[in-house]
Amino acid sequence: MPHASGARVVFLDVDGTIMDHTARIAESTVEAVRRARANGHTVLLATGRAPGEVPEHVAAIGFDGAITAGGGYAAIGDEQVLERTMDAELTARMVAVFEDAGVDYYLQAYDGVYPTEHVHLRYADYLREHAGETFDGIEPHEHPRVRPLVQTEPLPLDGIAKAMFIGEDLGLFARISQALGTDFHVITGTMPHLGSASGEVSRAGVTKGAAIEHVLPLLGFTADEAIGIGDSSNDVEMFDVVGVGIAMADAVVEVRDRASESTTGVLDDGIWNAFVRHGLV
């Protein structure tokens, strides 16, 4: 049954939803989240990022919990309530496919990411070309936004929730997806700096939608009381399990097709406008 108070629960994607791909956040987004929570609504992150990858200026907005690593983890407040990672054998199989294909990739664990050697260079190129970042007098690995993607230790096989592989060849994505097989959930990549044929890989059945289904009863909400807002291919399953799915203005086709409605862009008050429409603020 719906909450007597009319409270809603909202799941917000991060990249392309809360912040744009140069990490900018509209002030109206911060105000919307804080005011909605003050009004008795519940707001959680639902991101493909690992817990340790959530930017500080996003976390500082204040949320009631988070689904991270595309559904690999979920937390309500400070309590972790879900962990769906690969075992070492499954991770090793995935890594072998990546190595055979000759692609760069990074692994996501609870505490952050574990990249291969050249991932940080691709991200540095993206920051130069699309975010106006300069590297005057410093090497790419010294830049604060690039440093988390610099390889500093061997890749672990235990405790991996998700991986991202990098590619430009559309045929490469299909070959990797086929080679991984049905034990994995593979979608097109959601981070523009990783290239047009990049991908995200998690254990079969691990999605934002599955994690939302797990946390809804813990939060005391039904699916009809849930709202999801996103833009990328890893938001499709989220829209399948919430009462209202809202696509950002720049959402990919699969998300727009699955959405109940749309809103304006990240910096055009997209979150604020959606919250107003549903009476959250």
pLDDT of residue 1 exceeding 50: no
Confidence label for 149 from pLDDT (cuts 50, 70 and 90) = low
Confidence label for 172 from pLDDT (cuts 50, 70 and 90) = confident
Close Cβ partners of 197 (under 8 Å, ≥ 6 residues apart): 167, 168, 169, 170, 171, 172, 173, 188, 189
Average model confidence (pLDDT) across the chain? 89
What is the set of domains in the chain, with CATH numbers? 9-84+207-277 (3.40.50.1000), 88-203 (3.30.1240.10)
pLDDT of residue 255 exceeding 80: yes
90 close to 62: Cβ distance less than 8 angstroms: no
In b/e form, how buried is each residue of 55-73, taking b as 16+ CB within 10 angstroms?
A: eeebeebebbbbbbbbbbb
187 close to 162: Cβ distance less than 8 angstroms: no
pTM of structure? 0.90
- CA 73 – CA 50 distance, rounded (Å): 8
**Which tops the pLDDT comparison, 86 or 112?**
86
246 close to 13: Cβ distance less than 8 angstroms: no
- CA 269 – CA 271 distance, rounded (Å): 6
**Residues 59-73: what's their mean pLDDT?**
98
Spacing of C-alpha 139 from chain mean position: 28
3-state secondary structure of 119: helix
Close Cβ partners of 277 (under 8 Å, ≥ 6 residues apart): 261, 263
Within 119-235, residue ranges assigned H as helices are 119-130, 170-180, 208-219
249 close to 267: Cβ distance less than 8 angstroms: no
pLDDT of residue 166 exceeding 90: no
Within 40-154, residue ranges assigned H as helices are 56-59, 88-101, 119-130
Confidence label for 133 from pLDDT (cuts 50, 70 and 90) = low
Confidence label for 101 from pLDDT (cuts 50, 70 and 90) = very high
Measured between its terminal Cα atoms, the distance across the chain in Å is 23
> What pLDDT shows up at residue 188?
83
- CA 35 – CA 37 distance, rounded (Å): 5
**Residues 216-237: what's their mean pLDDT?**
97
Q: How do 73-76 and 79-83 pair as beta strands? A: antiparallel
For 165: left if phi > 0, alpha if psi spans -120 to 50, otherwise beta; the answer is beta
